[in-house]
Structures are given as structure tokens and as C-alpha cells.
Amino acid sequence: MNDLELYNEIGKNIKKRRKSLNITQEKLAEITNYSLSFIANIESRTYQSFSISALNNIATALETNITNLLPNDTLYLTKSRKIKCPYCRYEALIPKEINKLLTYIEDLTKGEIKLTCPDCQKKFPLKKS
């Protein structure tokens, strides 16, 4: 996962947590003493870097911890049709047709797909991002 993907995933998790608590971006900015534009940029697909300290302040304001805001460490299918292994960092492009088939199988199995990494041979649940 590159930096942009990492920041975007964290931003999505922050937004999801904030909305689950019925907190507005304005209120989160007020609680954390950050600007509204800083919070909005973190939650958008705009590249907004931030420190671990800022992430910790946001997590505290959202009554959670940093680890709950980080991306899930499972094998996942990206929008660019890549499969990535979080353990050995194996990465491969998959054809569009296979992506459609995986989506269909995921629907049938209610998301219980497990794939085996061809490099490290470990099994992981598939997670679509």
C-alpha cells in the first residue's frame, strides 16, 4: 500500500467512526483544535499527511484508539484489480473477468472468500477496498 492509499484508508475510517458517533466535521475540528479544512482534507481523497500525534488526537476525540483507524491487515482486492498479501507483500494484477467472478463468489459466500498467497502460502480472507 502506498502512502496515498494509506492516508485515504485512514481518512475513510475516521469519517466512518465520526459519522457513527453523529459528530460533524466542524465538531471534530473544534474538539481536536484542528482546522475544519484539515479534518475535511483527511476525510476526502485529497492527499493530506498528518502526524501520529494528530491521528492519536483524532482517535481520542472519536473515543477509539489509533489501531481502529488503521487499514485492516487482510488480503484485499484493490480498485486497480491487484491482490496484495500483507505478510510477504506479494502483489499481482488480476484480469477483469476474474475480478467479476470473485465479486460473484463473494456475494454467494457472504464475503467468506479465502485466498492462498502464491509466495508465502498463507491463507487470508479477501477484502475489497
**Domain range for residue 16?**
3-69
Whether residues 13 and 65 share a domain: the answer is yes
Average pLDDT over residues 38-51: 89
Which has more pLDDT, 62 or 1? Answer: 62
Residues 2-30: pLDDT tens digits?
Answer: 788 889 889 999 999 999 999 999 999 99
Q: Are residues 90 and 117 in the same domain?
A: yes
What is the count of structural domains for the chain?
A: 2
Asked if residue 44 and residue 96 are part of one domain, the reply reads no
* Sequence-separated (6 or more) residues with CB below 8 Å from residue 58: 14, 28, 32, 34, 39, 42, 69
User: Across residues 89-114, what is the average pLDDT?
Assistant: 75
> 40 and 90, same structural domain?
no
Q: What percent of the chain has pLDDT over 70?
A: 87
